[in-house]
Amino acid sequence: MAGRSDLLVKQGGGRLPVEAQSLVELELMGIDTVYAATRRIDGQTNIVVRRVDGVSSKDIIGRLRQPSRTPQNIEVVTQKTIDDLERIYRVLQQ
């Protein structure tokens, strides 16, 4: 996103409204997500998300339009990840 290196624009697709709604619902429950906003850009609805540095799931498991590479053993789960998942689980159980 121009002028904001901490944000990315995810262009609209067929599932965009469902994805945006899901992110907003999680935020309303107190579960942090990457969701920053929904904006119309050049007549198309887009989700604005906060940039997260790391390895994307598509880099680990492959993309559908390309042959899947053999997944590499990449250390992606940290104690913070485990703590966050446990907190999210508790919120969803309420």
Give the model's confidence band at 93: pLDDT under 50 very low, under 70 low, under 90 confident, else very high.
very high
Measure the CA–CA gap between 30 and 22, rounded to whole angstroms. 13
Whole-model pTM: value is 0.62
Q: Are 38 and 48 in contact (CB under 8 A)?
A: yes
State the Rg of the chain over Cα.
Answer: 16
Mean pLDDT over the full length of the chain: 80
pLDDT of residue 55: 65
How is residue 12 written in tokens?
């609209």
The CB density around residue 7, as the number of other CB atoms within 10 Å, is 15
